Structure 1
């Protein structure tokens, strides 16, 4: 009589047998094939939901994808672009007349330029010693002991000599510095150039090229009758006359010209070239918009200004200069856009996506049918059948599970 097997051996034997059965089941299921079964459910509310979902998906693809987004087209964004600008006009301050060569910086006519509207002039600066500005940190003093010789403040105007001297006006004293004297705060004179500035005209010549479609166009009317000499921009009647009044640009950006001229600011001129190349080339038109780009409500460093100097030689072979702090309106010309043209590949892709997405309605209704309907278990039994291969002839066995179906494969409820 054989001895009984220990419990541990029986446990491991059972585990191995279960593992083998699981492996055989997974291997068998790997080779199963699933085919959809058509089941007609006569339920008006479920049918309304099904058709409504299909209709919404169809409207989305027809209206938004194909009409609005034009997804049947091949597209290209970011055209190659060139911008040439030219400013014309004269203005006057309290003491003199200013022309283009003096108030436009830089003069090359690029896509970014500044029109000076106010200046603070510090004339006749020479290399020497003078009081530091009171605006510089730790510049005020009471005696020479408060001023360290050789100290250089990066925010100051020169190298400190170690002396405490009276300021340009008032009873204050500041440390003496060696540099360009007098410093800006001590002798600057303000001039306003913005009186006639709203009437300055700005020519913005722009041409674009879409290399993928070999399409080029410009924003100027191709006429030989001197059209550009007497026209100004109008969105409907003179779209191809890109000559803008500075006052018009500031107004379209929603700004007050006098305030902007005093503090300075940055205005963006945006040219948008959105072109449907399935249409005639004349339908590809530039669209202009104007917007202030710098944050005007930021208290720190509000507005826009810059400094430059003009140098002169003197009779004693020394050098003097005029320092100018300029406030102005900087114009940034920004060009963007996209072009599209019919292409078979995106059309086929989006049509296939649309047809596939219509099946979402069936998926949603199946979920409602098998989850929330009163007879969901009956529907589940009718919808899912499991069959195995029939036995070979002569075995006398039928391993197929019972199922109910009509000769056409349609189970109707």
Structure 2
């Protein structure tokens, strides 16, 4: 009796069948099948989804976002500023050359509204400020000679000397004397400052579209000499009063002048270049940039000094200036019709309409009572084989061909 041939392992047979099945399925072709389902509620859902998608693309994508345009953000920009006006303090008259820093007329500048002046400082020795840590002392033993505090005003000599006023003592330092808080005098320059005028000359260029424009209207007869900005009547007269800028930023001028602050003048150039160039206009807005509700980071001040000689010795006047810093910020976006984004967004819109069919198919296959009938009608498998003859009007004998029945007593009409 011949010996039985060994059978291959069960796992190998399963793997071979799986590979054959995957290889066979790789060459399958799927084609959509159209089935009309007579169900009013499902039809309402289908049309409602289609309507929402169309409204989204027509109203938001094409009208609001203007996605049919090619766009460019961040225009090339130049800003030139000029301040005019005079003001008074307790001791003198101040003009532009003194209260505007820096004087170059760039996009960022400061207008001084209050100063603390320490006059006649000379190089020598004097008492350290009490604001410096470990500056107070009772005797020379509390002061270390040669010690240098980076937040102080000079090099310590090792002596403990009386303070400028009161009975306190601080360590003596070698530097510019007297120190700031020992002899400073405050002066307010903001009395007439709200009437200062600021000319902001701005021009922009969009290189992609070769479009340029400025914010000053080309008028003759000295138009800029007697006009001030108005959003309706004088949009192209970019001369602003300082008080108007502070008011539009929602700030109190007197308070801001004492503590200092940073105000942003934002110029926005949003241009639809499908329209005429006259429709591309600047839009101005104003807001405070430094966080005034956080005391540690609010306000604005800086120091500078003026040097001169008295009897051959170098002397200086130290000025701690509080002011309103103006930052001119320019941004914008330009758009113009282009065929490529139009075609892309139209194709996206047409494709997205198919979401309605996907949603309704999911409802039919998941929640409807006749979901099995629908599944059977929607998904068919056909084998490419030689045709078999059948009697007139009859179906093929295979069970898989039962869908050729022309009537369905309990079919999709009941869905």
For the pair 1:353 / 2:348, whether they are aligned, the reply is: yes
Instruction: Give 1:326's aligned residue.
Output: 321
**RMSD of aligned Cα (Å):** 1.7
Q: Matched residues in 2 for 1:59 and 1:25: separation?
A: 45
For residues 176 and 405 of structure 1, what CA distance do their matches in structure 2 show? Answer: 109
Question: Aligned equivalents of 1:392 and 1:376: distance in 2?
Answer: 32
1:314 positional shift: 2.4
* 2:92 is equivalent to residue 96 of structure 1: yes
Q: Does the residue aligned with 1:404 lie in a helix, a strand or coil?
A: helix
Residue matched to 1:288: 284
1:300-379 alignment runs, 5 A limit: 300-316=296-312, 318-379=313-374
Render the CA deviation track for 1:291-348: whole Å, top value 9, x for unaligned: 00001111214300000000002223x2110000000000000000000000000000
Pairing 1:239–2:230 present = no
Residue 266 of structure 2 contacts residue 330 of structure 2 at CA under 8 Å; is this kept in 1? yes
Q: TM-score, normalised by structure 1?
A: 0.95
1:156 is paired with a residue whose SS is coil
For 1:34, the equivalent position in structure 2 comes to 30
Q: Structure 1 residues 361 and 62, CA, compared in 2 at 3 Å: closer, same or farther? A: same
Mapped to 1, the partners of 2:402 and 2:129 lie a distance apart of 99
One of 243, 251, 254 as aligned partner of 1:258: 254
Give the alignment partner of residue 118 of structure 1, picking from 96, 100, 114: 114
Contact 2:373 2:412 in 1 (8 A): no
Structure 2 CA distance for aligned equivalents of residues 2 and 135 of structure 1: 111
**What is the alpha-carbon distance in structure 2 between the residues aligned to residue 406 and residue 276 of structure 1?**
60
Whole-angstrom CA distance in 2 between matches of 1:228 and 1:48: 63
8 Å contact kept, 1:88–1:202:
yes
- Give the drift of 1:191: 0.2
* Structure 1 CA distance for aligned equivalents of residues 231 and 184 of structure 2: 43
By how many angstroms is 1:404 displaced?
1.1
Q: What's 1:391 paired with?
A: 386
Q: Supply the distance in 2 between the matched residues of 1:48 and 1:294 (Cα, whole angstroms).
A: 54
SS in 2 for 1:38: coil
The 2-side partners of 1:301 and 1:344 are apart by: 50
Task: For residue 209 of structure 1, report the CA deviation from its aligned partner.
Answer: 0.2
State how far apart, in whole Å, the 1-side matches of 2:243 and 2:77 are. Answer: 26
Contact residue 390 and residue 398 of structure 1 kept, 8 A: no
Paired with 2:235 and 2:326, the residues of 1 have a C-alpha distance of 20
Residue aligned with 1:401, SS: helix
Deviations 1:247-301 (CA, angstroms, capped at 9, x unpaired): 0000000000000000000000000000000001000000000000001111214
Q: Which residue of 1 aligns with 2:392?
A: none
Could you tell me which residue of structure 1 aligns to residue 403 of structure 2? Answer: 404
Distance 1:222 1:256, change over 3 A: same
**SS of residue in 2 equivalent to 1:355:** helix
In structure 2, the partner of 1:61 is: 57
**Residue 81 of structure 2: aligned partner:** 85
> 3-state SS of the aligned residue for 1:42?
coil
Which region of structure 1 is more displaced relative to structure 2, 68-77 or 398-407?
Answer: 398-407
The CA deviation at 1:391 is: 3.5
Q: Is residue 388–residue 399 contact of structure 1 (8 Å, CA) maintained in 2?
A: no
CA contact (8 A) 2:374 2:412 kept: no
Report matched runs for 1:100-249 at 5 Å.
100-249=96-245
The alignment of Structure 1 onto Structure 2 pairs a total of residues equal to 403
User: How big is each residue's C-alpha offset from its partner over 1:70-124, in whole Å with a ceiling of 9 and x where there is no partner?
Assistant: 0000000000000000000000001100000000000000000000000000000
Gaps of 5+ in 2: 390-395
Aligned equivalents of 2:384, 2:10: Cα separation in 1: 29
Contact 2:291 2:297 in 1 (8 A): no
Give the superposition deviation at 1:18: 1.5
What's the CA shift for 1:14? 1.9
Pair 1:133–1:301, CA change in 2 (3 A)? farther
Contact preservation (8 Å) 1:390, 1:399: no
1:132-152 superposed Cα distances (whole Å, 9 cap, x missing partner): 000000000000000000000
1:137-169 deviation digits (Å, cap 9, x = unpaired): 000000000000000000000000000000000
Q: Distance in 2 between matches of 1:227 and 1:313?
A: 46
